[in-house]
A and B are shown apart, each in its own frame.
Chain A
């Protein structure tokens, strides 16, 4: 190649392919299974680590590799950080902008990532939020059982 490249696109072949399977099935894991049960009941769990820190959502093990103990998170929840997504990765404007937040309950040391259902112009750091659960019969024990967080 090198010195005899072909610039004319007509001379070149482009080959469509993919790297997909029919679907992936992800198990919730150890803490995840307990979180799933709690979400169906409209509750959120965190994990308490031996150093006293509480993390939400629970992730089975702590950053220092010790085992976390499940605790119920009661809130109140506050908006710690946020962003507003107006465009997708390709630069297409979204029909409706999305507010994404880091939402920290007072009884945990970190925040959860979730959608915040609030007009972008009304977002205030520190505003109190609460999780809006889907109707009970639609809950599946996944993170989207919380449809979004909304002003309390």
Chain B
């Protein structure tokens, strides 16, 4: 492996609103990328070696959306390509590109503009196995998350109340974050008295959609020093797929082995031997409330079946021992489709730089970021970040 660390030298975003009529999706990409390049102090036309774009055709309504990738992010006539996956997987490509020596500086962009998709539910069903799953009259594609949620609570003994606490915590955390349109001063009793949307979750516990584009700029250690001293280190990445959407029946319900595998890789690369002790901040998957608890367990931040107890104790609170989603998570920031994982990543970078503003937590030195690609996928990406910046 190439020597030297991989640095995050710039981040930028645009959107994080339920709709963004003032820009086309390309305009949104341009907006986030120019912010990231300004943040990193790089000229994309001169300094960036490879551009990675993360998007998926049917989210875009364009059969080869890759066509639209290069221009808005400064990658025209340059080495640019698309990863059909979550933005955090684009970061994993950047990590490999830098480690391989092929690139010194890599820009990764991901975006989603769900407000422009009129038939979002159909698009979700379109991702399901056309033979064995799509034809069933299941009513809502999130039934898959419902099955996992039920399997999770019945295995761990977590209750509906625990899932509701996650929703209350994250929606309130988001009140201090300007990128959080779905933040709310909601109370536990309100969540508990809400009707189920997809059992065992009410709508408070299911994240809404938002439009956003996020760009991050990564660099080799040597290159990073040329541009900035506000460096956050990408110490490790990992990603894994448990089963295909054509073999959903092989999934281990109520668990997320893909996230566990991804975490093991990322921790190994980062030299994290005791995650519960070594990690001081977590920005993790929470598009469904139970996923935060399951993620925490799969990331080894709590023993199997214990995450809800830690939650009860307030460990994951904004001022807790291990703040989990102090940004408000996806429950507050929404789901910008393939940009979701980069949203968590962006928040962790801001925290480690001490630039998270009103939602800055104290003393965060090392963060874990985890994303799951959402139903009906079982693919997860994990990254470990650290910084020596005094926050």
Contacts and interface: CB of A to CB of B under 8 A. Distances in A.
Chains A and B directly touch (beta carbon < 8 Å): yes
Contacts of A32: 131
A19 B330 CA distance: 28
Interface residues of A, number: 50
B250 A29 contact: no
Given A81-B253, A84-B199, A142-B131, A18 B137 contact: no
Interface string A51-79: 00001110100010000000000000000
B101 interface: no
Contacts of A43: none
Contacts of A87: 140, 197-198, 203
B149 A1 contact: no
A102 B138 contact: no
B254 A81 contact: yes
A88 B30 CA distance: 34
B18 to A, nearest CB: 13
Interface string B192-225: 0001111110010000000000000000000000
Interface range for B: 35 or more
Contact of A88 (B21, B61, B121, B151): B121
A80 B154 CA distance: 11
Nearest to B118: A16
Contacts of B197: 86-87, 91
Contact of B198 (A26, A85, A125): A85
Contacts, number: 135
Given A1-B30, A91-B203, A98 B247 contact: no
Interface string B148-160: 0111001000000
B83 interface: no
B132 A98 contact: no
Interface of B: 21-23, 27, 30-31, 34, 57-58, 61-63, 120-121, 124, 130-133, 135-143, 146-147, 149-151, 154, 195-200, 203, 243, 246-250, 253-254
Interface of A: 1-2, 5-7, 9, 12, 14, 17-19, 24, 26, 28-29, 32, 55-57, 59, 63, 80-91, 94, 97-98, 100-102, 110-115, 120, 125, 142-144
The 7 closest A-B pairs by CB, nearest first: A83-B146, A85-B139, A89-B121, A84-B199, A98-B139, A26-B130, A81-B151
